[in-house]
Amino acid sequence: MLGGMALRAFLNSRSTWIVTALLMPHLASKSLDGMYDAAMSGNTSLTLVYLAAFAAIVLGIRSIMKHALHK
């Protein structure tokens, strides 16, 4: 419950836009770099970990933007 309240407060704050516009794309880029490096080295399990992280970041960006549009 506390986590939900914190998430709701974060989504209603102005810092959401800073995180969405600056930090999350940077994290997505780092995840893609790691995924590429792991794939080139043949480490399939690490590639899947980076893929899961990338998917979580993309879904996070999507949910923040969806929430912002439906205020």
- Percent of the chain whose predicted confidence (pLDDT) is above 70: 94
Residues 48, 35: Cα–Cα separation, whole Å? 8
Average pLDDT for 16-43: 89
Residue 46's pLDDT band, with cuts at 50, 70 and 90, is very high
Residues 43, 38: Cα–Cα separation, whole Å? 5
Range of the domain at 53: 2-69
Nearest Cα to Cα of residue 35 among 23, 17, 49, 21: 49
Q: How many other C-beta atoms are found inside a 10 Å radius of the C-beta of residue 69?
A: 7
Looking at every residue in the chain, the average pLDDT score rounds to 85
Q: Is the pLDDT of residue 19 over 80?
A: no
Count of structural domains, the chain = 1
Predicted confidence at residue 42, as pLDDT, reads 96
